[in-house]
Amino acid sequence: MSAESTLLYLDGVSVSFDGFKALNSLSLVMMPGEMRAIIGPNGAGKTTMMDVITGKTRPDTGTILFEGDTDLTRLREAAIANLGIGRKFQRPTVFEPHTVWDNLELALKAPRRPLKTLTYAISRDDRSRIEEILDITRLSALRSRQAGSLSHGQKQWLEIGMLLAQDPKLLLVDEPVAGMTDAETEQTAELLCSIAGKHSVIVVEHDMSFVRALGVKVTVLAEGSVLAEGSLDAVSANQQVIDTYLGR
Amino acid sequence: MRTKQLTASFGISALAGLAMGAMASFAMPAQAADDTIKVGILHSLSGTMAISETTLKDVMLMLIDEQNKKGGLLGKKLEPVVVDPASNWPLFAEKARELISKDKVSAVFGCWTSVSRKSVLPVFEELNNILFYPVQYEGEESSRNVFYTGAAPNQQAIPAVDYLMSKEKVQRWVLAGTDYVYPRTTNKILEAYLKSKGVKPEDIMINYTPFGHSDWQSIVADIKKFGSAGKKTAVVSTINGDANVPFYKELGNQGVKAQDIPVVAFSVGEEELAGIDTKPLLGHLAAWNYFQSVETPANTDFIKSWKAYTKNDKRVTNDPMEAHYIGFNMWVKAVEAAGTTEPDKVIDAMVGVAVPNLTGGYSAMLPNHHITKPVLIGEVQENGQFDVVSKTSGLVPGDEWSDYLPDSKDLIADWRKPMSCGNFNVKTGKCGGKGS
Amino acid sequence: MRRALRWLMAVCVVVATSTAAYAADLRPLVQALGSGGYSGTEKALAQLSEAGDPAAVPVIEALQAGDLYVRKSDGTVVVARKSGDAFTLTDPLTRAALGDAPAAAVEKIRINNSLRRAISASLGALTLMSPDAGVRRSAADAVFKSRDASALETLSAAIAKEQDKGVRAAMEQARAAILLTGEAASKMTDADIQAATDTLTARGDRDALVLLNMVAGSGASDVTKKLAAAAVSTLEQKLAFWAALQNLWYGLSLGSVLLLAAIGLAVTFGVMGVINMAHGEMVMIGAYTTFLVQEFFRAHAPGLFDLSILVALPAAFLVSGGVGIIIERSVIRWLYGRPLETLLATWGLSLALQQAVRSIFGPTNREVGAPSWMSGAFELGGLTITYGRLWIVIFAFAVFAALLVALKRTWFGLSIRAVTQNRPMANAMGIRTARVDALTFGLGSGIAGLAGVALSQIDNVSPNLGQGYILDSFMVVVFGGVGNLWGTLVGALTLGSMNKFLEPYAGAVLGKILVLIFIILFIQRRPRGLFALKGRAVEA
Amino acid sequence: MLLRFFLMGLDRKAGIVLTILAILAVAVPVMTLWVPADSPFHLSVFTVSLLGKYLCFALLALALDLVWGYCGILSLGHAAFFAIGGYAMGMYLMRQIGPRGVYGNPVLPDFMVFLNWKELPWYWWGFDQFWFAAVMVLVVPGALAFAFGWFAFRSRVTGVYLSIITQALTFALLLAFFRNDMGFGGNNGLTDFKDILGYDIQADTTRVALFVATVAALALSYMIASGVIASKLGKVLVALRDAESRVRFMGYDTESYKLFAWTLSACMAGVAGALYVPQVGIINPSEFAPASSIEAVIWVAVGGRGTLAGAILGAVLVNMGKSYFTGALPELWLFALGGLFVAVTLFLPKGLLGLGAQLKAKLPGRKASPLSNAQPADQKGA
């Protein structure tokens, strides 16, 4: 398959740490606007995959292209982020000393150079955009609260809000519902689905009911490479998958 | 938010209070008791120089104590004011200023390193007070407000080299020193002096090491190598205090014996040797104006009262201590002669004052504010003391401007009126260096 | 020393019978030793050794040891040994007791360097025929150094009689030295000169080079000069090779000093993450413990002084370790997880500890002696290796190995690793983390104390001792990679040898600056040190 | 726009700090020069230079707090920038001595004369001009910091590794400046200054003027620092202090942010050094000593890391204590100082300025062991 017209194109990507192969010739393709769920046992290479896409880890071999022509393996994290790839970590990391508002303001799509931020003054458009995200993430009432004082779920939402503010073309979401109540999980699934379409999304998750609620194509990773791909029902029926993951 | 404000206002009121408090406390002049004469003692009691300077503080306290037992000075008791400049050179200047302007001392005894003296010098000149500086130094300075009771290079380095040349027939020289001004200048002077005596440049090796250098293996090996050229070789060491112990330990271990390559040191005295096993160092030399082993009644008394004062039978005495002994007695005599402790009068009365030193003679204050001293060469003994092997026949006057440096050979200092100049150029006949 | 004593006894036996007869002839010469200052003594000594009488040997040895005195009352030269406040006097030649005298009644015959040289020369000449091979050997070496032409005859006789190969070689070298430098050189045949220079070249050390250089630069004949110059260049090449090896040894030696200093820090800082600025003070406490132990030995068991270091090792470990545990329990334990604050607190502690030691022991250096088995040097090929340094190298590696075993192979080591990797989990598994913390910090501090014992042998024992090593220790640990003991080892050896490699070219100061710049640049290449952990676990 | 920038940082706290500084700038000259010496409100010149020195240290602390408190870079080498700024000013002051040196050489400083130097080394050129020296005070520390930071931040040297190499940097500079061959006066440094901008450096008015200049520099730096912190850039700095990789994944090039703060901070430290030298009268390599950098860190910690006022408070307080104790308890002051550092870290983890908040937090619950603060708060601060 050619890389043209794809949003993200991984081919033969391998990474090893001190002899341990975290990714073993991984290949994956994402189309614009697509939403994908990635599942797999611990150590299957899910987080490492996100690391190589976002530039945190350099692959030993393999190709990673964004929008068909940009080689991500040569870029640093910030440059990759500025291309339009956003990432949400497993553990929510919001900027605790800052207020909810400031967190969103920092994430908001705007010039990122130091001299620009030094002289930055918030514009009317930016203000309404933040208001809008506060609405979506139901944090309007908490806008002046320090992010550090939010509950775990609220932090997750704030982080998703920050991702939205960044307005990326591709979102990488690592276990977004870990530690959430059932209601919150449901709302999150709705939120992610509403984003898809405008943005492409990769969700890494353990929670099967959540993956089911998303109702999207699923990729199963094991030992650093793709084991199976297809709808959740299809991969659930795959004997290999059952053996290595679901069955255990 | 409220917490933040509270914190802020707390901090700010603290800052404000502090600033005001600072002003108030400093604004208050120290109550100057009229029935005592204050003497400042400005020696580091902590930091790297404490190792050398603390002893000098103790000796000053002893001297003041003894003077008070004799009835004080001008009918008043002497009161020592001790401060700790902590081996920090700007702090020396600050403490000097504090001693003079806050404590109103009549004279200060202090400093060890050249840089500490350089740091306080402008303070003494500005506030017109008196400093007694007790350590051998590189010369090239003469201030109206400073009395240099330690050795100038001609009172230590040159006689030592002369001794080695005549008695040990040394032809090849290693000038090893710590990289700072005293060794640099001393070595410059020695280099010029040796060349004037016909020593070839290839027979002089100069080596500098950083402060506190502790790994001397390569340098000792270099010295051995340099010494194997077939000519009698000696090391002239201007290595600074702390680095000497490892240096001598390495010499001893590598078997550099004084009989083969003698080392003559200008900064190693009884105090430094107290930290080393001196058996392997037998016969290495030091040049000073005083050794504890000198047998004179004055010295015996001095050692006895020192041991009694410190309540420690093992405490040793050394050259800078004698310098303070001389300096203090000179000051006492000058104050008595002037009838006042007012610095201007005392400074004028100082020149020409002569007091007994501990090696059996009299030291006199010269018009250049340096003093006359005998020069002694001693060999290290097994007990950590020095055995005097040579003594200059007379007293050597301290020469502040070396005759062996091109830019200072025409300079002299004479603080008597009407000249009153620290750098008079005899060629141009003007005060102020080249006088241009 | 023991050898000399044995020789003394042998001489006693040999000469005892004839003492009275000789004593009469030597008496005026011995008497002359006591007058005329240094030059008078030197003159009398020369005559005494020219007399060639072995009976003079004990007298000269007494002079060398500083036991020869002049009795002030009648000017007699006597041997005086201190007993209590007074001196016991004996006759230098007959060894007859002359009673006691107070210190004021006698005056020491003082000697200086040139006299010391003359003494060893004449002792050398006089003892060439000694029955003890060791004494003959040192006599030959003494003659080699003095190049005293008057000893030539005795020397030739001694060579003819000599059975011991090594001693004979030494004697032949001494003879060659005298021949080449003395007046005899002008009368020698070319072959003889060749033989003499060959003998010296074969000796192959710096002393031989000194001599050959001397000959090459002297007013000797052209042939002699040429031969000597050729020998000098051969010898210099050989010595240059050894000098390179020697430099390697210096690097190893400095490296092991760094290793010793850093290894305790590798535990407190590397393993526990405490930025321990008081580490240097733990080293200092170890050094002072050594001092105290030695004081005890000096006062109560001077005969066992050589063992003092062995006693000091466990003592220093326990004292420093104990102080470490107290510090951990009182201060550090409140600060886990806040490494930068441990920096501030331990910095404060280090100031206080320095001042405490200064208040107790005074600001000046304290003397820590070297046991006889750590003094001096030996030759290995062309290398001069000092025993003190050799022991420190061995000791450093031993401590390293012991620590490695303790951490990797013992239950205690396992607990340490468990606690540092995952505190709550270790706690949950029943490991008493608080105790493990205290003991680990104590271990690191104790090792620093051990380093203090070693460093007391080569450096000042002063309150500032630790300050000189703290920065270097941090550099070593960081360079090697925090948390990796092997990194500390490699780091110490690398930085040590690099320093020693640069020193001859750049000088000590610039060399050190270059090493620091190297560290800065190296950290750019490997931001987590030489042996960095890789992978996900690293990222916080 | 500049005005807006400065106004942005002006909160209540800044207002109070600036007011105090303004009062100092007015009151001190009046109390020193115009109040008669016998009045209880008279201030001696000694006190003025002492205060001036404290404020120079306060400026250094402020600079350090900017990088440590707000950007999480623990510099153990800031004294190097301070000292370099000091040397730049010292070189100007040396050149001003002119022919009044002891040897009377109109161009060469005394230490060069007696080491037989024949001509001025190139790096001394231009320092006879005040403007040139003033530019160098900013440029040299700034350039050094920029070069060092460029490499270190791009290589992602962080945490204790960065701290230790900053120590290596200052230690290397210490050794270099000790070398007499460097042409900076070796161990004796630069001293015996005569005048500055044509005014006698020892005159009371000059001292007071230098003090006022120091107050002004501190106030200006405070305004710049608080402006930076209040800006979006400042928020990025705080964000990257706590979660650098998160900021990076948001598209901010954190290296250039750190580099900006680091260089700015070094320039401020340079200015502090430049003001310090004429007031204490000497600059010597020991200013580069690793210990002086660590001491500066301690001032900040004592006052309260992450609060600009705290840094100033800490520097002034610790140094006042040092001045007082070295005179009053010369044998024991190290115990006092050492004890203070231990006590502050144990009981005031947020410094003196955090004390108020801490007390308030403790009041209801009463007893809280120091452990309650022992969470991995290191990366948090504020």
User: The domain containing residue C466 runs over which residues?
Assistant: 243-538
Find the closest chain D residue to A163 by CA distance. D250
Residues in chain C within 8 Å Cβ distance of A22 = 535
Closest CA to D8 of D230, D225, D186, D252: D230
DSSP string, D18-68: HHHHHHHHHHHHIIIIIS-TTSTT---HHHHHHHHHHHHHHHHHHHHHHHH
Taking the alpha carbons at both ends of chain C, their separation in whole angstroms is: 64
What is the pLDDT, as a whole number, of residue C18?
A: 44
Chains with at least 3 CB pairs less than 8 angstroms from chain A: C, D
| D residues 299-358 closer than 8 Å to C (CB) | 301, 331-332, 334-335, 337-342, 344-346, 349
Boundary (domain end) residue, out of C96, C117, C138: C117
Residues in chain C within 8 Å Cβ distance of D286 = none
Cβ atoms of D224 and D65 within 8 Å: the answer is no
In this predicted structure, the answer to whether residue D124 has a pLDDT above a threshold of 50 is yes
* Separation of alpha carbons C209 and C222, rounded Å: 18
My answer on whether C203 and C274 are in the same domain is: no
Work out whether strand B77-83 and strand B36-42 pair parallel, antiparallel, or are unpaired: parallel
C87 within some domain: yes
My answer on whether C186 and C64 are in the same domain is: no
CB contact set of B194 (below 8 Å; sequence gap of 6+): B161, B173, B204
Find the closest chain D residue to A112 by CA distance. D252
Find the closest chain D residue to A168 by CA distance. D250
In this predicted structure, the answer to whether residue D305 has a pLDDT above a threshold of 60 is yes
My answer on whether C103 and C131 are in the same domain is: no
Q: Pick B157-265's CATH classification: 3.60.21.10, 2.30.29.30, 3.90.226.10, 3.40.50.2300.
A: 3.40.50.2300
Domain ranges of chain B: 33-151+292-374, 157-265, 406-436
My answer on whether C261 and C209 are in the same domain is: no
Cβ atoms of B264 and B234 within 8 Å: the answer is yes
| B residues 223-242 closer than 8 Å to C (CB) | 224-225, 227-231, 242
Average pLDDT score over chain A: 85
Which token pair is A220? 């199963």
pLDDT tens column, C494-526: 999 999 999 888 888 889 999 999 999 999 988
My answer on whether C133 and C173 are in the same domain is: yes
Average pLDDT score over chain D: 87
* Separation of alpha carbons C472 and C475, rounded Å: 5
* Separation of alpha carbons B188 and C143, rounded Å: 38
- Closest CB to D104: pick one of B26, B208, B432: B432
- Closest CB to D51: pick one of B22, B405, B411: B22
A149 touching D (Cβ < 8 Å)? no
My answer on whether C149 and C48 are in the same domain is: no
Chains with at least 3 CB pairs less than 8 angstroms from chain C: A, B, D
Say what the pTM is. Answer: 0.88
What is the pLDDT, as a whole number, of residue B257?
A: 86
C236 within some domain: no
My answer on whether C216 and C269 are in the same domain is: no
Using alpha carbons, list the distances in angstroms from residue C294 to B312, C288, C314, C459.
Answer: 19, 10, 13, 16
D22 touching C (Cβ < 8 Å)? no
At how many degrees (to 10) do helices B2-27 and D355-365 cross?
Answer: 120
Quote the minimal CA–CA distance from C533 to chain A in Å.
9
What is the pLDDT, as a whole number, of residue B434?
A: 57
Torsional class of D224: left (φ above 0), alpha (ψ -120 to 50), beta (otherwise): alpha
CATH of the domain at C529: 1.10.3470
Cβ atoms of B153 and B185 within 8 Å: the answer is yes
ipTM at complex level: 0.87
> Which of the pair, A247 or A55, is modelled with greater confidence?
A55
DSSP string, C136-196: HHHHHHHHHHH--GGGHHHHHHHHHH---HHHHHHHHHHHHHHHHHSGGGGG--HHHHHHH
C237 within some domain: no
What is the pLDDT, as a whole number, of residue C99?
A: 84
Mean pLDDT of A55-63: 89
Cβ atoms of B288 and B261 within 8 Å: the answer is no
* Alpha helix (H) residue ranges in B70-128: 89-97, 114-127
My answer on whether C107 and C139 are in the same domain is: no
- Measure CA C224 to chain center: 38
Residue B385: burial class (beta carbons within 10 Å; 0-12, 13-18, 19+): middle
Q: Walk along chain C (540 residues) and give the pLDDT tens digit of each residue.
A: 555 555 555 544 444 444 444 545 788 888 888 888 888 888 888 888 877 777 888 888 888 888 888 888 888 888 888 877 788 888 888 888 888 888 888 888 888 888 888 888 888 888 887 888 888 888 888 888 888 777 788 888 888 888 888 888 888 888 888 887 777 666 777 778 788 888 888 887 777 888 888 777 776 677 777 888 888 888 888 888 888 888 899 999 999 999 999 999 999 888 888 889 999 999 999 999 999 999 999 999 888 988 999 999 999 999 999 999 999 999 998 888 777 788 889 999 999 999 999 999 988 888 888 888 888 888 887 788 889 899 999 999 999 999 999 988 998 888 888 887 788 888 888 888 888 999 999 999 999 999 999 999 888 888 989 888 999 999 999 999 888 889 999 999 999 999 999 988 888 888 999 999 999 999 998 888 888 765 444 333
> Which of the pair, B15 or D166, is modelled with greater confidence?
D166
Residue with tokens 């029955």: C131
Cβ atoms of D301 and D344 within 8 Å: the answer is yes
My answer on whether C284 and C202 are in the same domain is: no
C7 within some domain: yes
CB contact set of B129 (below 8 Å; sequence gap of 6+): B100, B105, B106, B107, B108, B145, B343
Mean pLDDT of A157-181: 85
Mean pLDDT of D303-327: 90
My answer on whether C332 and C449 are in the same domain is: yes
My answer on whether C369 and C429 are in the same domain is: yes
Is B7 in Cβ contact with D187 (below 8 Å)? no
B427 touching D (Cβ < 8 Å)? no
Size of interface B-D (CB pairs under 8 A): 226
C410 within some domain: yes
A19 touching C (Cβ < 8 Å)? no
Where do the domains of chain A lie, and which CATH numbers do they carry?
8-246 (3.40.50.300)
My answer on whether C42 and C159 are in the same domain is: no
What is the pLDDT, as a whole number, of residue B436?
A: 42
Quote the minimal CA–CA distance from D375 to chain C in Å.
6
Which stretches of chain B drop beneath a pLDDT of 50?
1-32, 435-436
CB atoms within 10 A of CB A78: 20
C231 within some domain: no
Mean pLDDT of D256-262: 95
User: Considering the domain B33-151+292-374 in this protein, what is its CATH number?
Assistant: 3.40.50.2300
